[in-house]
Structure 1
Amino acid sequence: MDDDPLIDAIRRAVVAAPEDVTLRVHLGRLLLDAGRRVEATTEAAAAVAVAPDDAAARALMLEALQPDATAGPAAPGPDDAATDDAGPPPATGFDWHAAEQQVEHIVEPAFVDDDGPDPNPASAFSVERAGVRFADVGGMETVKQRLTAAFLAPLANPELRTLYGKSLRGGLLLYGPPGCGKTFIARAVAGELGARFMSVSITDVLDPYVGQSERNIEAVFRAARAAAPCVVFFDEVDALGQRRSQTRSSHVRGMVNQLLTELDGIDGGNEGVFVLAATNQPWDVDPALRRPGRLDRTVLVLPPDAPAREAVFRGHLRDRPVEGIDAAALAKRTEGFSGADIAYVCEVAAERALMDSVTTGSVRLIGMADLLGALGEVRPSTGAWLDAARNVVLFGEDDGTYADLRAWLKRSKR
């Protein structure tokens, strides 16, 4: 049967403006009035797909899918043959399931069955391969020895571990001035262990909704246990586990309590989970976090010594165009510089060479003059931290936690 001229004209208009819901609904109404229910359903479904909340489109869909009780049976057309076999509609209510089956080739279903919670939900916290090892860390021999005793030696000697009853669980707190490689050494530990690595900061955990921060901490440990052996690294742990005596926020206290619960690892659940934490302010970390079985060992990460500074210079200049660089001489001139300070010196030197090349129109390599000039502009950033640390050691409570720091300050005459 040929289309009605009006229907044909409006159909062409719909083809020209497929997003016009009002026009498409009008076409559906004309088709429905003409007894062409399947075509009307198609137009209604297309309108709902464009504007799911449009009342006229939804009303047209309902009317098109529900046969007219006053009308007699229509002669089956080629489009109606498949739907006639579906049987009579339900006596009461509207059968959404049957309706979705009729239009499933046009639009996605509006309702789906809930099969219950996923028994293995995806975690928002992902683990990764560390990619570095101790060989990539310049200097820091004392730190490496402490980490070897805590984690690496027991893992590499399972017989001795069993003999001495040494568990593969535990935590360690790295503290020291900012920019001295605490995160890098944590990655190197994971690389030496052959374990996966997960880095967690306060922004990954903190949530404004009550109880969600605690659930985030639980999710961190659940993901780590599933990926064991795994190193979990909490950066700036003083923000996440700050002293509860210094805050009245129930939000913060809840996070600390949850972290304590997860570190305890009920029923040995943390076997193969190695917890490392880093902070610039260890005196602000809740004392309960440093009790035995938790972050019970502390390692001081100091500004790099001369061999380490030389290695840092070589690492940051390796992929840059340089000539005549004396890394040992630069290391001697950068006493008290952190690794981040040295990286910035290299960046400033590269900028000087780049701007000179732009000005002269001749590209040149980075030389010692650029690095020495950069050293004249950059000052070590560790001074403020060392001053604060000295005050804590001299005038704060001394329970032996900062013995290494006290000895170093004495040797360096600070």
Structure 2
Amino acid sequence: MPETPLIRSLRAAVAAAPDDVPLRLHLASLLLDAHLTDEAITHIAAALQRDPGSDEARALMARAVSAPVTPPRAEHLGGSQESPARPDGDAVLGPRTDEFDWQAAEQELADIVPPMFVTSGPEGGAGDLADLDSGPAFDVETSTVRLADVGGMAEVKERLEAAFLAPLRNPELRRLYGKSLRGGLLLYGPPGCGKTFIARAVAGEMGARFLSVSLADVLDMYVGQSERNLREIFDTARRAAPCVLFLDEIDAIGQKRSNLRSSGMRGTVNQLLAELDDVGDRNQGVFVLAATNHPWDVDVALRRPGRLDRTLLVVPPDPPAREAILRYHLKDRPVAGIDLRKLVRRTEGYSGADLAHLCETAAERAMLEAARTGQARLIEMRDFETALAEVRPSTGPWFETARNVALFANEGGTYDDLLVYLKKRRMV
């Protein structure tokens, strides 16, 4: 079919409206009928760029790249060659197949349509899909927190100094007194009292990297995968040494095996025991800190010498710590006339999380009043008076349970420090 006036008119219309996909595809169909395949492919490719999901464009592209071609002339082949004939007498102009050749189509469009996906070379950013599994599976951070950033808690800091920091800073004294850095430290206490923050401060004080691991990072539904996750976690920590490896919710990862019915969970605890032993034997640069709200649920084997053999009770913040926490949560808020000493006295037993919630509640009350009146105001002491009536300390239930453990299940003096604290607060 020769080029028609309609084709010329459609060319002009497409030039005037290049984003009109149906118009462009109609022109491409007429071009294919006129055996102007190259021009048709250009328009189909442009249509696919604007509408990649167009079935009509895909069908036209398949028709274009598999269109019959004129066979070589006889004189070029060194003799005469007749085209084979169909049963109806029409000549076949060239071979045709019912299967679409995508490779040929890609080569045909290489200079027209850019590829959807590419594989980066040695200097590329993404790399092969296989490279996704070759990098570290867990993020190792650099902690900028120091113990000086932890308000109050003098006893906690002193215990940390004796357990980790002093031996690390004085290697000569450590060798003189035979002090080993083997083993780990178990932080326990009511929730929201800053165990994770203290672990970060230890890492910052030591100048070590920090790797925090929770239950979700370890447990997996497939058999054996939880053990593999633990192995990868400890290997990552060893490669990043010196590193503080912080195991949060250790009571869930290392539960008492006598209470477990699942063989998979038993295997996870066994793997954790093996990795802790490896840390002591193979790598002195990995310091293991663990945290739990329920130390009585932790497997006793985890607390043997060379593993998590030292414990540290982290209790609700003392008065200096409460003042520091309140100042921190109010420093960027518009406040006026806040009596911090009064707030500190009235928040005995509040955890750090409780204090943050108290400040949030007071700020919320002032904000709602400002929204209601249309006039902004400062957060005042009356807002905290109302907030104190709403926000109560959340540590009470924990101390009820801990009291029974300290009184009736204190085998070997494990919870002597807890018992001393309870007596000091007249809870027993």
SS of residue paired to 1:174: strand
Deviation at 1:317, TM superposition (A): 2.0
**Rounded Cα–Cα distance in structure 2 between residues aligned with 1:56 and 1:358:** 55
Q: Whole-Å Cα distance in 2 between the matches of residues 73 and 119 of structure 1?
A: 54
* 1:111 to 1:183, Cα distance in 2 relative to 1, 3 A: closer
Letter in 1 for 2:345: K
Q: Displacement, 1:299?
A: 0.6
Pairing partner for 1:104 from 110, 123, 140: 110
**Residue of 285, 299, 311 corresponding to 1:272:** 285
In 1, Cα distance between the equivalents of 2:57 and 2:374?
Answer: 68
Question: Quick one: which amino acid aligns to residue 314 of structure 2?
Answer: V
Determine the C-alpha separation between the residues in 2 that align with 1:216 and 1:73.
Answer: 68
1:299-335 deviations in Å (ceiling 9; x for gaps)? 1001112222222222222222223333223222222
Q: Is the 8 A contact 1:322 1:365 kept in 2?
A: yes
The answer for the alignment partner of 2:356 in structure 1 is 343
CA distance in 2 between counterparts of 1:232 and 1:3 reads: 75
Whether the aligned pair in 2 keeps the contact of 1:169 and 1:273 (CA below 8 Å) is no
Q: Distance in 1 between matches of 2:299 and 2:119?
A: 47
Tell me the distance in 1 between the aligned counterparts of 2:223 and 2:3: 61
Q: Give the distance between the partners of 1:213 and 1:41, measured in 2 at CA.
A: 53
Partner residue, 1:286? 299
2:164 is matched with which residue?
151
1:59/1:358 CA distance change after superposition, 3 Å = closer
Q: Which amino acid aligns with 1:229?
A: P
Equivalent residues of 2:193, 2:314 under 8 A apart: yes
> Can you list the C-alpha shifts for 1:172-230, whole angstroms capped at 9, x where unaligned?
11100111111111111111112222222222333333333333333333333333222
TM-score by length of 1: 0.77
> Structure 1 stretch 139-148 or stretch 237-246: which is displaced more?
237-246
Counterpart in the other structure of 1:72: 72
Secondary structure in 2 aligned to 1:399?
helix
Counterpart amino acid of residue 324 in structure 1? G
SS of residue matched to 1:265:
helix
Q: Would you say the 8 A contact 2:190–2:316 is kept in 1?
A: yes
In structure 1, the residue matched to 2:330 is 317
Q: Which moved more, 1:117-126 or 1:5-14?
A: 5-14
Query: In the alignment, which residue of structure 1 is the partner of 2:401?
Result: 388
1:342-365 deviation per Cα after TM superposition (whole angstroms, max 9, x unaligned): 222222222333344445555433
Q: 5+ unaligned residues in a row in structure 2: which ranges? A: 75-99, 121-126
- Range with bigger deviation, 353-362 or 146-155: 353-362
Find the aligned partners of 1:56 and 1:226 in 2 and give their Cα distance.
53
CA contact (8 A) 1:29 1:60 kept: no
Residue 224 of structure 1: which of 210, 229, 237 is its match? 237
For residue 162 of structure 1, report the CA deviation from its aligned partner. 4.4
Report the RMSD for the aligned CA atoms in angstroms.
Answer: 4.0
| 1:244 pairs with 2:233 | no
Q: Is contact 1:125–1:220 with CA below 8 Å preserved after alignment?
A: yes
CA separation of 1:35/1:316 partners in 2, compared to 1, >3 Å: closer, same or farther?
A: same
Counterpart contact for 1:232–1:275, Cα < 8 Å: yes
Distance 1:238-1:267 versus aligned 2 partners, 3 A rule: closer
Distance 2:420 2:382 in 1: 37
Q: How far off is 1:234 after superposition?
A: 2.1
Matched, 1:296 2:309: yes
Does the CA-based 8 Å contact 2:362-2:387 persist in structure 1?
A: yes
How many Å apart are 1:405 and its aligned residue?
Answer: 0.9
Identity, in percent, stands at 59
The CA distance in 2 between the partners of 1:55 and 1:273, in whole Å, is 62
8 A contact 2:351–2:393 mirrored in 1: yes
2:273 counterpart of 1:260: yes
Q: Give CA-to-partner distance per residue, 1:6-61, whole Å, 9 cap, x none.
A: 7668877795554x7xx95x977876676556556667777888669979948965
* Structure 1 unaligned regions, length at least 5: 75-93
Distance 2:9 2:257 in 1: 74
Which whole-Å CA distance do the structure 2 matches of 1:102 and 1:159 have between them?
73
Residue 230 and residue 266 in structure 1: after superposition, are their counterparts in 2 closer, same or farther (change >3 A)? closer
Cα distance in 1 between the residues matched to 2:184 and 2:310: 7
User: 1:10 & 1:245 partners in 2: Cα distance?
Assistant: 81
Structure 1 residues 356-365 or 123-132, which shifts more?
356-365
- The amino acid that maps onto 1:246 is N
User: Which residue matches 1:83?
Assistant: none
| Higher Rg | 2
TM-score of the pair, normalised by structure 2: 0.75
**1:193 is aligned to 2:206:** yes
Structure 1, 401-410 or 160-169: larger mean CA deviation: 160-169
Amino acid at match of 1:71: P
- C-alpha distance in 2, partners of 1:111/1:357? 55
Distance 2:2 2:189 in 1: 85
Q: Partner amino acid for 1:235? A: D
1:129-185 per-residue CA deviation (whole Å, 9 max, x = no partner) reads 323211111111111112122222222223334445555554211100111111111
CA distance in 2, matches of 1:46, 1:130: 52
Residues 225, 98 of structure 1: alpha-carbon distance in 2 compared, 3 angstrom cutoff: farther
Aligned residue number for residue 92 of structure 2: none
Change (3 A) 1:6 1:156: farther
Kindly provide the amino acid, as one letter, of the partner of residue 269 in structure 2.
V
Rate the CA distance shift 1:73–1:199 in 2: closer, same or farther, 3 A.
farther
**In structure 1, the residue corresponding to 2:311 is in which secondary structure?**
strand
Q: Bigger CA drift: 8-17 or 172-181? A: 8-17
Q: Which residue does the alignment assign to 1:214?
A: 227
Please state whether the residue corresponding to 2:244 is helix, strand or coil. strand
Partner residue in 1 for 2:423: 410
Q: Distance in 2 between matches of 1:38 and 1:384?
A: 79
How far off is 1:383 after superposition? 1.1
